[in-house]
Structure 1
């Protein structure tokens, strides 16, 4: 149900907007239709982060519905492995480990402007 709503919203955005930044959830690429929409209508950027850093960041949160009441490290590891190949199809891949948000943003701008 959630992925269907996500797909409709993303379709509306990519069909009706000219210049935009769209930050999807990590699971958006699991839908073949959504993935195809993003590939066809946008320049995709993967903010690549190591599993170790994802786990460190996530343990500071208590609001992730997929992880509630579960072995968080195990579930995060499974999600990471499941999605890794899908993320690798991004037009631009930026490694975010050991970088600040401003440094990452600068790198993205340079890569976008070099095309």
Structure 2
């Protein structure tokens, strides 16, 4: 693995939905005194629509273009943590761009843990709408794993506390708290 010190200005949290990107981003922000940015929140702010509304009114390709635009806008930022949407690294060459412009951290979890975490949310994620949520989840994970595993740092969040996750990220990325 290349020296991550050169890429420390931007920490990109990637991974499947429900793996803890938003939670880890907020905690990592407090521990490191870095600002945290959520790409989905930026898209919602820019469009004035929720992610679900964007998917309802447009197609996934339209949403992925919005994600790409938000991603490239982060490349000049310094001292930030960027929590990406679950599919952002899997569109075109986004993961290569993330790796070139910061430290990429992929949060992972077992499918049963993800389903459990998502069951606490009031809104069903657009890509998991309908019947057979577990089958859809497994299929999406299989399609995306190639992109996720190319991250600089991989963390299984299934059985770890948020404190353990953030300590691991800081240690692996060489970030002092």
TM-score normalised over the length of structure 1 = 0.88
Larger RCO of the pair (alpha carbons < 8 Å, separation 6+)? 2
Alignment pair present for 1:81 and 2:142? yes
Alignment TM-score, normalising by the size of structure 2: 0.59
Q: In proportion to residue count, which structure has more strand? A: 2
**Distance in 2 between the 1:40 and 1:111 partners?**
17
| Map of 2:173 onto structure 1 | 112
The answer to whether the aligner puts 1:101 opposite 2:162 as a matched pair is: yes
- CA deviations 1:47-102 (Å, max 9, x no partner) are 12112211221233342122222321111111111111210000011121211111
User: Of Structure 1 and Structure 2, which has the larger fraction of its residues in helix?
Assistant: 1
**Aligned partners of 1:7 and 1:33 also within 8 Å:** no
**Paired residues of 1:62 and 1:68 also in contact (CA < 8 A):** no
> Where does structure 1 lack aligned partners over 5 or more consecutive residues?
none
Q: Structure 2, unaligned stretches of length 5 or more?
A: 1-61
Matched, 1:32 2:76: no
RMSD in angstroms over aligned alpha carbons?
A: 1.5
Q: Is the 1:94–1:104 contact (alpha carbons within 8 Å) kept by the matching residues of 2?
A: yes
